Structure 1
């Protein structure tokens, strides 16, 4: 069995500061760590798909390392639009799979599954884009792993959500990515963050899933003139589980915290 827990959009702040001056995102992430440490089956890897911090400052990455210290499982981090590549790289210089310069793409193996973390961020901007070099890196990795399941992890999801105030900050060159993905049959699924909601769709024949935030959840408002809004809905993460590592995963939405139960099943 192979199990990967995916968290996203944790928006860690410097000690004592609130996310959007309203929410204690650090305390909420600490509760997520507590939930992961109680989890069965035990994750082989915890993957955090971007927006590790809110402003990308060294102080925020220092706070993030402190918050991650109690985590009992192996973990990997990747950037989102609120992160700073250089500060992230410096804070996690013990993670040897992170490139020493440039875009923060990396591949890691979790049992038989190959994780390809694809950096969609653009320094100083909130929308995402994949450079020619990014797509070249991805194609090389896919071609080298034809006989094993591959998961592509990215911050910006490769589809239009229908929420207008999200889509203006979406991934710009989805077409080139989709065309590349269509040529490979070894992609088990694509996982993403950024949208602070659970969403499911496909890119061609490949399932795509987004992970909720451990902080606020973005409102589902699809009217063209919709006002941006977030809610303090229950925070959650995704659990991707391969009962047969050579097969396809089942992905579970998992809420963070303690809840009443267990109750009678029938």
Structure 2
């Protein structure tokens, strides 16, 4: 099965539309042996009637079966009404041999942001269940699902990207295909391939790139190959084969045990659960006995001395060594100075052949974090320096979407940071923002987020929790541990790269 994926044509009578690039790509698609074409939105530039009239004419040039869905530009000026008139339904299903494409409208009128929420989320869930027997399940939407590199400030990922990602993984979706940011990119998240198309015929390309489209191949063995093809003829190819086996049994010697906590938010407020944190400290010291404790930020609820004094009393009682990275709450008010005074500057630690690299992402008076271009270069340099060892990067802000958490607390440069982490094949990334525990593997890099250990205002149905991470010679096993009862559930298990 061979699919052409185009996006962001931005058809208009104005200068944004590059008609020659569109015609070149369409001609190539028509000559090629494609089974069908997916257009993931921003067909028009402003959602105007005259643009839809032109778009309807331009789309007829494609002589293959065509699936088209709306983008944020298409729903401007109440363009979603015109989309249904000139193009087709906003949501729908396209069946093909051994597979199905489920497309869903992720747009919000007059905003660049996206969301698959409420009724559309339930419809997507029910439709995936209806077609659960299909070998290939493709979900198509306009907005991107994980942060993308080379796109500037991260701000338009789906608001509920974590819930959508979790839904796709649970339903063993083969491919999520999207556009929106005008940058072609392919990531593998566990067994899900996320395919972003660049812009087919818009002048607004990023970092001097050219127009492009993606070629998707679905093979009988379940593998997926994506070829990013630019109008210049340059090509980048990525292939993913299904993970086999999917269930592992930990083996070999345990190298290191880590307890990962976050969002203790020590304070005088009623939301701080003092007894819960007391119980966790006792559990760590008496039962779990880790080699290291990593706190991924928001140690205190606000950066004042009284809260820091209380927090220091808790964490100094831990018998294991500690690495504490600041969260955004920790550096409010006088917190920047107080964090240094009580916990010091987090430094690189090497323990049993494992290197833990702390990264500072918190900024004054805002939940949004940034590593920065200088910080990214420094991180890459450190990862290269310790190549060959098991490298763990610890930071506060999450670089992947977290279920049940609206994505407003991302790193603003999450896409570029994620690119550094995956390109350097970082062995493990620990984060702690969003109030919910989650773990997935992107490319070759497992990323694990800790929930709130002792703060009542969390988003975790499992309750307050922390993570227990056992690193073996051949595998990494992560358990989520309930803070009150000590019950555990498996958060993730991944083979270590050879």
TM-score by length of 2: 0.43
Which residue pairs with 2:12 in the alignment? 13
- Which residue, out of 28, 31, 37, partners 2:21? 28
Q: Number of residues paired by the alignment?
A: 228
Tell me if the contact between 1:13 and 1:26 (Cα under 8 Å) persists in the aligned partners.
Answer: no
RCO comparison, higher one (Cα < 8 Å, 6+): 1
1:173 aligns with 2:172: no
Tell me if the contact between 1:157 and 1:192 (Cα under 8 Å) persists in the aligned partners.
Answer: yes
CA distance in 2, matches of 1:157, 1:133: 20
- Which residue, out of 111, 135, 156, partners 2:143? 156
Which residue pairs with 1:254 in the alignment? 229
CA distance in 1, matches of 2:18, 2:177: 22
* 2:174 counterpart SS class: strand
Alignment of 1:8-157 (within 5 A): 8-14=7-13, 17-19=14-16, 24-39=17-32, 42-83=33-74, 84-92=79-87, 95=88, 98=89, 104-148=90-134, 149-157=136-144
C-alpha RMSD of matched pairs (Å): 2.1
CA deviation profile, 1:154-197 (whole Å, cap 9, x unmatched): 11111122557452222111121122223212x11111101111
Tell me if the contact between 1:5 and 1:43 (Cα under 8 Å) persists in the aligned partners.
Answer: yes
- Which residue, out of 184, 199, 215, partners 1:198? 184
Tell me if the contact between 2:67 and 2:94 (Cα under 8 Å) persists in the aligned partners.
Answer: no
Q: CA deviation at 1:70?
A: 2.6
1:243 aligns with 2:219: yes
Q: CA deviation at 1:110?
A: 2.1
* 1:62 counterpart SS class: helix
Q: CA deviation at 1:61?
A: 1.1
* 1:182 counterpart SS class: helix
Q: CA deviation at 1:38?
A: 2.1
CA deviation profile, 1:195-241 (whole Å, cap 9, x unmatched): 1111222445412120111134643xxxxxxxxxx53x331111111
Tell me if the contact between 2:174 and 2:191 (Cα under 8 Å) persists in the aligned partners.
Answer: no
Tell me if the contact between 1:33 and 1:68 (Cα under 8 Å) persists in the aligned partners.
Answer: no
* 2:25 counterpart SS class: helix
Tell me if the contact between 1:46 and 1:75 (Cα under 8 Å) persists in the aligned partners.
Answer: yes
User: Which segments of 5 or more consecutive residues in structure 2 lack a partner in the other structure?
Assistant: 235-498
* 1:18 counterpart SS class: coil
* 2:116 counterpart SS class: coil
Which residue pairs with 2:337 in the alignment? none
CA distance in 1, matches of 2:60, 2:93: 23
CA distance in 1, matches of 2:35, 2:160: 32
Tell me if the contact between 1:152 and 1:189 (Cα under 8 Å) persists in the aligned partners.
Answer: yes
Moved more, 117-126 or 174-183: 174-183
CA deviation profile, 1:61-94 (whole Å, cap 9, x unmatched): 11112122232211121001100211111112xx
Tell me if the contact between 1:35 and 1:256 (Cα under 8 Å) persists in the aligned partners.
Answer: no
Q: Which has the larger radius of gyration?
A: 2
* 1:191 counterpart SS class: strand
Tell me if the contact between 2:151 and 2:181 (Cα under 8 Å) persists in the aligned partners.
Answer: no
Q: CA deviation at 1:247?
A: 2.5
CA distance in 2, matches of 1:184, 1:81: 27
